[in-house]
Structure 1
Amino acid sequence: MQTLDDADLDLVAALQLTPRAPLNAVAEVLGTSASTAGRRIQRLQDSRLLRFISTVHWSLILTANPYVVWIKCEPGMTSSVAAAIQQVPEAQSILITSGDADIHCTIYPLAGTDLRRLLTRTLPAIPGIASIESHLVLRTARQAVAWHLDRLTDEQTAALRGHVDADPSSPPETVGPLGEAEFNALRLLFDDGRITAAQAARELDVSRSTAYRLIQSVLEAGAARPRVEIEPAVLGFPLTALITLDVQPQHIPAVLAALGAHPSGRFTVMTAGPASITHHAVFRDEDHLSRFVTEDIGELPGINGLNMSTALAVLRRQWIDRDNDVLLGDRVHAVLPPRP
C-alpha cells in the first residue's frame, strides 16, 4: 500500500473539513502552493486511494431506516457469501469480521426495495448462510462523513471554516423535495463532491450561473454533504471495531451522544435489537482500542455490557467496492432513484 507522508495527511485533513474549498485557499493554509496540492490530490486519485463523493440525505434515497445485519456462515463459505452480498444493491457496506458473526453489512432500503422479502428470503437464500440477525436503526448520532483526521492547528481550522458548506455532524432532520434540475445536480455531486459549476454546466447543458445556483441550492438544503472517501487504514487507522452496547434505557440518550461525538466514530446508531447502540469506530492499533474500551466506554453511565468484533476485510463502504481493502473500485449499483 502506498504510504502517505505528512504533507499528504495534512492535505487530506484539510479536505475532510472543507471538501469543496478552492485549492489556493487550502494551499495557503497549509503553507504550500495550489499546484503542489493539486498534484498530490491527483496522485492519490490515480492510485485509487482517494475520491470526492457526497453523502445524500437518507430521506431522498431510502424508503425506511437502514438495518445493521450480522451474518453467520457455514464453515469455509464466508468469502462466497460476501461476494453474493456484493450483488445486493441495498448493501451499503460489507465487512468480513471476527467475533460472533462472519459478515457485517448495512442494508439501506432503496426506492423499490421489498424490505421484508430482502431480509427474510433473498439474503437467507444465499448458499452458505447459516443465520442472519437484522436490527433496525432507530436513531443516528454519527455517520462516516463526520469522521476526520485531527491534524490541523486551531488557526488552520479557523481559516478553513469559511469554506465549509455545512457541518457534517449536523445534517437536517428532513430535506424538502427537489425539482428535476436540482435532482440532476444532486446526481453529479453524489459521484463528484468537488464538481465545479463549469463542469456541472456542461453535464447539465445549462449556463454556468444556473449550474452554480443548482449546486448551492442542493448543498444549502443539506441534500448532499460532500466528503473525502478514503479508507481509514490509509490514514493510519487500520483497526476497525464494531461495538454493540447493552445500555439501560434511561441512559441511552447520553451514551449515544457521547459516542456520537467521539473522534473514533464513523457510524453510531441506536438500534432495535439485543444491543441498544452500535458504534463503528477506527483505531491506530490494539492499544488504542483497548484504552477506548476501558477509559472512554468505561466511564459512561448505564452500560450493562458490550460485544465487540473487528473487521478482517473491507469489501464495500458507501456502495463503493474495495480491492485489497483500501483501493476504491466502482459503484456497481444504481443508488439514486429514477429522475422525478
Structure 2
Amino acid sequence: MSLLDDDDLDLVAALQHAPRAPLSLLAEVLGVSASTVGRRLARLESDRLLRVIGQLDWSVSGEGHPWHVWVTAEPGRASEVAGRLAALPGTTLVAVTAGQADVYCSVLPERRAAVRDLLARSIPATPGVRSARSELVLSATTKSDAWRLPRLTEDQIHRLTAHAAQDTPTSAPPTPGTLTPDELRALRLLATDGRTTAAQISRRLDLGRSTAYRLTQSLLQRGLVRPRVEIEPSLLGYALEAVVALTVSPGAITKVAEALTGHPSARYVSTTAGHSCVVHQGVFRDEHGLAHFLTHDLAELPGVTSFDVSIVLEALRRHWLDRASGRLAAAADATDAPTSGLP
C-alpha cells in the first residue's frame, strides 16, 4: 500500500498526541481549516486505514495479564494457522512472522480460568500448529498507545497537551465487579470510538449531560480507557516491525526494560515470566534501523545475554481488531473487539 502524504502524516501525529482533540484545535495546530481536517479524517476512516479507539486497561479487558505466544507451524501453513488463531476468543494480536516463530500472538482471555484451556488445548490443537511457547506478561513499561510519529514541533505538542490522554491514572485499577452499569456501557462506547464525546454518551445512554461528562472524565482520568490511533506502522513509513525476545540477567531486567521504553522504536515493551525476561516490540524504517538497534543499542545494555527476533510479515489482528492488507475490518464486519473483555 502507498504511504500517506505529508498532510495525512501530520494529522496522524497530532491525533496520536491528542486523540480526542476537537477538529478546530487540530486545524489550528496544523495550520489548515477545520473542514480540511474533517475531510481528511473521514477519508482515512472510510478507507479503513485509521480508527481512533479506546485502549482498555487490563483490569477491565480481562482477568489477569496478557500472554505472549510464539507458534511454530507446519511448513506452508503459517497464514492458515494465523487465521485460525485470530478467530479464537481472547487473542488480541495475531501476526504471521519470520525468524524465531511462524506466528506470534498475544492473548488476554476474558476470564482467568480460560487461560489453561486456551494455552494448553486450543492453541496447540489448532490444525497446522506444530508447537507453541507462551510467556506471561508481568508488566508493561510502555504500550502501543504511547508511540508517537516524530513530526510535530515542540510548540505543536504543547498546544495539544491539554487534550492529551491521561499519562498517569488518578487511582488504582478497580477490582472485578465494582464498575457500575453506566461505567461499563460508557467504556463500550469509548472503546469502539475513542473520540466519542460526553454529549454523545449522554444521548446514547440517556444520561444527563453533566452526569455523562463526569462519567467520561472519570474513566479517562482513572486510565480505564486510553484513546489511541489504530493504524498500521507501514502506512507511516515504518516498513519493518520486529518482536525481539531478550534473555537478561535477573538483576538487569528492570533497567533493560526501562531503557528500551525510551527507544524511538518502542511500541510495546514488557517484562515476562519466561525464558525471554523482556520482550521489545518495535518499528523501524528499514533494515539499517533494525540492524543498528540489534548491534549497537542492545549491545550497549548491560545484562542482555541473548535475543531472538521475529519479523512481522502480516498482521491479521491488533488490539482485537481484524485487518487485511493494512486495512481494518469493515465496520459491519468488526467484532467490537476492543470491548470483548467487558461483561
Q: Tell me the TM-score range normalised by the shorter chain.
A: over 0.9
User: What is the one-letter code of the residue matched to 2:133?
Assistant: E
| Structure 1: 5+ residue stretches without partners | none
CA distance in 1, matches of 2:250, 2:262: 19
User: What is the one-letter code of the residue matched to 2:173?
Assistant: V
CA distance in 2, matches of 1:171, 1:213: 16
CA distance in 1, matches of 2:100, 2:30: 44
Which of 328, 332, 340 pairs up with 1:335?
340
Q: What is aligned with 2:153?
A: 153
Runs of 4+ more than 4 Å apart: 170-173
User: What is the one-letter code of the residue matched to 2:159?
Assistant: A
C-alpha displacement of 1:26: 1.5
The RMSD of aligned alpha carbons is 1.6
C-alpha displacement of 1:113: 4.8
Given the two structures, how large is their TM-score scaled by the length of structure 1?
0.94
| Structure 2: 5+ residue stretches without partners | none
C-alpha displacement of 1:173: 7.8
Q: Kindly, what percent of the aligned residue pairs are identical?
A: 47
Q: What is aligned with 1:132?
A: 132
- Answer yes or no: is the 8 Å Cα contact 2:184–2:342 preserved in 1: no
Worse overlay, 188-197 or 119-128: 119-128
Worse overlay, 202-211 or 81-90: 202-211
Q: What is aligned with 1:272?
A: 273
- Answer yes or no: is the 8 Å Cα contact 1:70–1:105 preserved in 2: yes
CA distance in 2, matches of 1:277, 1:112: 23
* Secondary structure class of the residue paired with 1:162: helix
CA distance in 2, matches of 1:308, 1:140: 19
CA distance in 2, matches of 1:67, 1:336: 15
C-alpha displacement of 1:327: 0.1
CA distance in 1, matches of 2:61, 2:80: 28
Q: Are residues 11 and 332 of structure 1, via their aligned partners in 2, closer, same or farther at CA, if it must alter by over 3 Å?
A: closer
- Answer yes or no: is the 8 Å Cα contact 2:245–2:309 preserved in 1: yes
Query: Is residue 178 of structure 2 the alignment partner of residue 174 of structure 1?
Result: no
CA distance in 2, matches of 1:337, 1:56: 9
Superposition pairs for residues 216-255 of structure 1, below 5 Å?
Answer: 216-255=217-256
CA distance in 2, matches of 1:192, 1:25: 19
CA distance in 2, matches of 1:125, 1:87: 14
C-alpha displacement of 1:2: 4.5
Q: What is aligned with 2:87?
A: 87
Q: What is aligned with 1:297?
A: 298
- Answer yes or no: is the 8 Å Cα contact 2:62–2:342 preserved in 1: no
Worse overlay, 196-205 or 126-135: 196-205
User: What is the one-letter code of the residue matched to 2:172?
Assistant: T
Q: Deviations over 1:219-256 (max 9, x none)?
A: 11111100111111111112101101111111111100
- Answer yes or no: is the 8 Å Cα contact 2:170–2:221 preserved in 1: no
Q: What is aligned with 2:190?
A: 189
CA distance in 2, matches of 1:306, 1:35: 48
C-alpha displacement of 1:100: 2.6
Aligned residues: 335
